[in-house]
Every structure is written in structure tokens, then in C-alpha cells.
Amino acid sequence: GLSDAPAGEGSKPGAEAREGALEDAAPPYPPEFDKYWKVVEETPSDFMAWTYLLQHVEQENHVWATRKTFDAFFTHYPYCYGYWKKYADLEKQFGFSREAQEVYERGVQSIPLSVDLWVHYITYLQEALDSTAPDIASKIRSVFEMALAAAGTDFRSDRLWDMYVVWEREQGNWKAVTAIYDRVLSIPTQLYSHHFEKFKEHVQSFSPKEILSTDEFLKLRCEIVNSTPCGDPEGEGEGDEGPPGDEAPPGVGPTNQEKADAEMERIRSHLIATRQEIHLQNEEEVSRRWNFEEGIKRPYFHVKPLERAQLKNWKDYLDFEMLNGTNERVLVLFERCVIACALYEDFWIKYARYLETHSVDGVRNVFQRACLVHLPHKPTLHLLWAAFEEREGNVDEARRILSCLQSGVPGLAMVLLRRVGLERRHGRLEKAEGLLREALTSCKDVPTSSFLSIKLARQLLKVHKSLVKGRRVLLEAIDRDQENAKLYLNLLELEFSSDVKVNETNILSCFERALGSSMALDTKLLFSQRRVEFLEDFGSNIKSLLDAYNEHQKLLKQNTSKKRTAENGTEEPEEKRVRGEETAVSIAPPPVTTATAGSAPTAPGPAPVATGDLSAYSYSGWYQPYGSYGYQSPWNYSHYYPPS
């Protein structure tokens, strides 16, 4: 269902079973608990209601109410790292140290980029675990490594790196300290310069042999020795040395210790120089990102909207990183972004699209987190997720996503049509028709009912090849919504899909329905114009054409009179109205006569064509360009096909 959170995002396997067990074992909840609980149960998107409930359970000091509340809260708001810390503190306060550790573990799974949460978690382990246990150091070191793997490349991860360095120093593991610095010196972070200064202090404080791995120490020493003439740092005394351990008298020359010290200094200098090259490269990377980082004013999650400048900064930063950064850095930045911008679907969509060329599972994970946790009522995300699953061949999953969305956010036509399209694409035509008919039957809104009728009629005509069924659907819709021009237009399009010669009666019947309806006069003029053109192009009876034309002229007169009245606000003078009427009827067909050139017509109205000069019976006098009718454009079936 839509309320199910994916594993690792605010929940963990077995959490529901544990909650059920807690319900069975729990003593009565605090007196006011149910009142607060009812509010969040009915409106889980009300963040303030959750904060009131969380404050209440904290004050009541009730372990079962606390667990129920926090567990439910994190299914909706897993990115609130401060509440993870508070939950763990409460478990510790209740005396449940193991449960407190589990809360931290769930927290860093839900928001792995939270440096603060990792720091609190590691601090808790250092205090809670038995310091005399033989494997304590390896356990804590493994957590540090997990933390750095998750959040170590975050621009603001310096606190975590410093904490790891301090801890390894406390263990007396100088080589590990060097290894940590070697990692962080190549990562663009806020305090990149601080790390380099600390690294230099570290190098100056110990012998290179104590802080370097054996391989690197020997390699550096070899480079230093080979760069010195004859292998002598001072360039003197070759061949004058006594046996090993036999030092020269004071003042005679450098002692072995002095030579060793000089050698160590050169190794230190070389060591710092090699790292300085890395530091300078890193400094350049930091400078390229500095303005973007300065623009991030709220890196944490909050339900309050972000300023437009903040949103633009995130977008520009992501575009920059996708163009210039490594895949790892892009992923980390996206993860940072969807914490701060969790309630903005554009960033989730951007993330999913980026991952499409990198990881199918990654795309699916992004859609799950966005749709099931943070934005359960955003249809665009769900539609994209369903399309992704269908493209990957997971048709049943796509079906489930759309069905759940329709249940969770009912009444969205786009969701229904996507479900219909999915069934049609996979050959389940009866199911597709059934979905439309079911929606049409349950629809109480007339405009929506008309929209669905048009979709169903098109489905029946184009997919099921049943003109009769499609016509029936549209006629029933017209009975319900007689002023909806789109229904008549679609009925015309449907009738035109058949042989117009055979189907002329039904086509003319559709025109008659439209002209006999209570639609606006302007709309009727459109249908009248098209009827004239249809009869001109395809009609089988000249009388029908002329009758249609005469009726069209009457509509034009009505429309002209109506417009003038609306413009003037009063009836027009008789004289002016007559002149207007004369102008309006001036496009009538001239009488058919046998007169010679220059003679005047003697009688109005059409006469038998066979008795007169055919050239005189010219449509040019009455079948004017479309503009004379006020006709907007040439015949185009798209007029009958409303935009989807």
C-alpha cells in the first residue's frame, strides 16, 4: 500500500511485529494519548500534530507510548535526525541500552548522510560498550568506517573525520592517523585547510617510520638516499667511517644519529611535499564548489518551504556536479539535496533520471523513498515510477503502483487513463474497457462524466472497432450534458470514421442534435458552417445543401443582431437594422436566369439548374471564403478531437 515504507527508510524488518507485541504487552496509555494519536492517525501529514504528540509522550515518560509514537513518526519523517537522537536518549533513559543502540542503527540507515547522527551514535558506543572487551576497538573502528563510507565525502563531514583521528590517536595508532589524513586530504570539505595543517603537525610530531606503512617508509627512504650523491647526506666522509656503533669523537663529523635525523627530516619534507600537491588540487575543487556551499542555508530537513534562491542553488549545484564531478560525488550531493528538499518532487525526478544510466536498482530505490515515504500523494512521481517498472518488464508492479495511487488519491483522471493504457498495451482490452465503464458508472460529476465518455467512445471505436458501441456511449453522454460541444464534436468524428456516403444519415443527425441543443449561438454557428461544408463536399442531395445554407444565414442574422445589441446596449434603429440585414443576406446565391449579360435577375431563389446558364449558377456568390461565415479555419478533423 501507499503507506508502506521501504526497508531502511524509517523502518526496519520486524518493526511491525514488534509494534504488535508492544500493543499486547503495553499497560494503558497516558490519559490524553489517544486524543493526540487520533489527530495524527487521521492527518499524518500534519507535522505540528506530530510534534505535539512527541512532546506529550516525552513528558509522560511512558515507554510504550514513546515507542509507538516515534516508530509511527519515522515512517513519515525519517529525515528528522534530531528526533532519532531524542528517541535513543529516551530508550537509554528508560534503561534499555540495547534498544537505544538499535534506534541509532535504524537512524543512520534512514539518514546515512547525517554526520551529527553518526557522531552521536559513535559517542554512545564509546560510552556504552565495555572498554575492556578485546574486540572493542575493532567494533568502533568498523562503525567509523561505515560512517565515512556513508557520509565521509559530504562537504560538511569534517567533524566526523576529526573524531576518527582523535580516536585513533587515543589508541596510539599513528599509522592509522596518517591513513585517515591521506583519505581526507583529497576530499573537498569545508575545513580542508585545517586537515592539511593538522597533518603537517602529525608528521612533525613523530618519526616517519612510526607514522608510515613499512612499504611507503622504505620507498620514501630509498628515494631520499638515491637523490643524495654517494648516498651521503652531507657529501663527505665516504670511507672514513669506523665500525658500526663506533662513533667519531665530538666535533670530528656528523654522528650516525645526526645523519639519521637529517635523513628523517628530508623524508618528512618529502612526505609533506607529496601531500601538498594533493592539497592544492583539492583546494581548487573546494574553490569551485564554495559559492554553492555558501548558498546552502538549510542543509537539514524541515516541512517549511525553502526560498526560491535555495531551490535554484540546489539545482545549479547538481547541474555543476553532474557535469564536473565523479559519480560518487554526484550521488552524495543528490542525497544531501533530497534531505533538504524532500518535499519537492522535481529533485526526486532529477535524481531518478540521473540514475537511469547508472543503476536500475538505484532508480527503483529513489522512487520507493519518494512515493512511499516523503511524497505519497504526488501523482507525477507515481506515474513515472509505474512507467519505469513497466519499461523494465515489471508489469504487475506497475499495475500495483497505479492501483494504490488511485486508491490513495481518488478522482484523478490521469491515473485512470494510465491504468487503461497499461492494460491496453498488454492486450487486456476487456480490462481496459471495464476500468473506463466502472469509472463512468461511479462518476457523479457531469463534466468528468462527459470526459470519460469521450475516452470510452474512442477506446471502443479505435481499439475494439465498434462504432455502434462508441455511438451509444456518446449519445448517452449527450443526454446528460446537452450543452457540451466536445461531445457533439467527438460524435461527428466517430461518424466520419465510417464511409460518409453510407453514414450520411447519422452524420446529419449529429448536426441536427447539435443545432437543436441549447448550446450558445456562436457554437451552433460552428456546427452550421460545418454542416454546409459537409453537404457541399459529401452530400447526396442538393436540396439538403440549400436548406442547410438558408438555416445558416438565419443563424448569422441572429448572431449579428445579438452582437450589435450587446455593443450598443439598446436595440438599433430600424433603418440601420435593415441595412445590416441587407448586408447579411447579400451573400445569398443569385437567381438562376437565362438573361443575357447585363440584364438584371427577375426572381429570387434557386431555379432548376437545367433551364439556365450553368456559369450563372456560381457558388462564388454565396459559398464565400470561410471568413464570410466567421469560420476560423479550413475543415480539420482535429476540431472533433479535443485535446487529451
Q: What are the residue ranges spanned by the domains of the chain? A: 1-152
Residue 393: all three cell numbers together: 518488464
The answer to whether residue 385 scores a pLDDT higher than 80 is yes
Q: E strand or H helix at 278, and its extent?
A: helix 256-294
Asked which of 167-181, 223-237, 333-347, 352-366 is least confident by mean pLDDT, the reply is 223-237
pLDDT tens digits, one per residue of 600-630: 333 333 333 333 333 333 333 333 433 433 4
Provide the pLDDT confidence category of residue 4 given band limits of 50, 70 and 90. Answer: very low
Provide the pLDDT confidence category of residue 569 given band limits of 50, 70 and 90. Answer: low
Q: How far apart are CA 538 and CA 509, in angstroms?
A: 15
Architecture of domain 1-152: Alpha Horseshoe (1.25)
Contacts of 581-586 with C-beta under 8 Å, sequence gap 24+, read: 581/557, 584/553, 584/556, 584/557, 584/560, 585/553, 585/557
With CA atoms as reference, report the closest residue to 348 among 334, 361, 331, 362.
Answer: 334
pLDDT tens digits, one per residue of 158-213: 999 999 999 999 999 999 999 999 999 999 999 999 999 999 999 999 988 888 88
- Percentage of the chain beyond pLDDT 90 is 64
pLDDT (average), residues 216-233? 71
> How far, rounded to the nearest angstrom, does the alpha carbon of residue 49 sit from its chain's CA centroid?
27
The answer to whether residue 519 scores a pLDDT higher than 60 is yes
Q: How far apart are CA 372 and CA 476, in angstroms?
A: 40
The answer to whether residue 250 scores a pLDDT higher than 70 is no
What three-state secondary structure class fits 556? Answer: helix
pLDDT tens digits, one per residue of 131-164: 888 889 999 999 999 999 999 999 999 999 999 9
Q: How far apart are CA 236 and CA 229, in angstroms?
A: 10
**Are 443 and 453 within 8 A, CB to CB?**
no
pLDDT, greater one: 12 or 296: 296
**Are 157 and 189 within 8 A, CB to CB?**
yes
Q: Provide the H-helix boundaries in 77-157.
A: 81-94, 97-110, 115-128, 136-151
Q: How far apart are CA 348 and CA 367, in angstroms?
A: 8
Q: How far apart are CA 75 and CA 60, in angstroms?
A: 22
- Biggest alpha carbon distance in the chain? 148
What pLDDT does 87 receive?
Answer: 97
Q: How many CB atoms sit inside 10 A of residue 194's CB?
A: 14
**Are 177 and 202 within 8 A, CB to CB?**
yes
The answer to whether residue 49 scores a pLDDT higher than 80 is yes
**Are 414 and 430 within 8 A, CB to CB?**
no
pLDDT (average), residues 585-609? 37
Provide the pLDDT confidence category of residue 498 given band limits of 50, 70 and 90. Answer: confident
**DSSP at 4:** P
Residue 606: all three cell numbers together: 434557386
Q: How far apart are CA 164 and CA 172, in angstroms?
A: 12
102 burial (CB, 10 Å; 0-12 / 13-18 / 19+) is middle
Provide the pLDDT confidence category of residue 244 given band limits of 50, 70 and 90. Answer: low
The answer to whether residue 636 scores a pLDDT higher than 60 is no
The answer to whether residue 112 scores a pLDDT higher than 60 is yes
What pLDDT does 596 receive?
Answer: 38
Residue 429: all three cell numbers together: 482490452
pLDDT (average), residues 64-75? 96
What pLDDT does 324 receive?
Answer: 94
- Percentage of the chain beyond pLDDT 70 is 79
Mean pLDDT of all residues belonging to the chain: 83
pLDDT tens digits, one per residue of 304-324: 999 999 999 999 999 999 999
The answer to whether residue 545 scores a pLDDT higher than 80 is yes
What three-state secondary structure class fits 223? Answer: helix
pLDDT, greater one: 569 or 285: 285
Q: Provide the H-helix boundaries in 206-344.
A: 208-211, 214-226, 256-294, 308-324, 327-340
Provide the pLDDT confidence category of residue 237 given band limits of 50, 70 and 90. Answer: very low
Q: E strand or H helix at 584, and its extent?
A: helix 574-584
Provide the pLDDT confidence category of residue 26 given band limits of 50, 70 and 90. Answer: low
What pLDDT does 163 receive?
Answer: 98
Provide the pLDDT confidence category of residue 638 given band limits of 50, 70 and 90. Answer: very low
Residue 452: all three cell numbers together: 470519460
Provide the pLDDT confidence category of residue 249 given band limits of 50, 70 and 90. Answer: low
What pLDDT does 224 receive?
Answer: 79
pLDDT, greater one: 370 or 252: 370
Provide the pLDDT confidence category of residue 214 given band limits of 50, 70 and 90. Answer: confident
With CA atoms as reference, report the closest residue to 143 among 119, 159, 127.
Answer: 119
Asked which of 257-261, 459-463, 546-550, 595-599 is least confident by mean pLDDT, the reply is 595-599
Each residue of 482-519: b (16+ CB within 10 Å) or e?
eebbbbbbbbbbbbbeeebeebbebbbebbebbbebeb
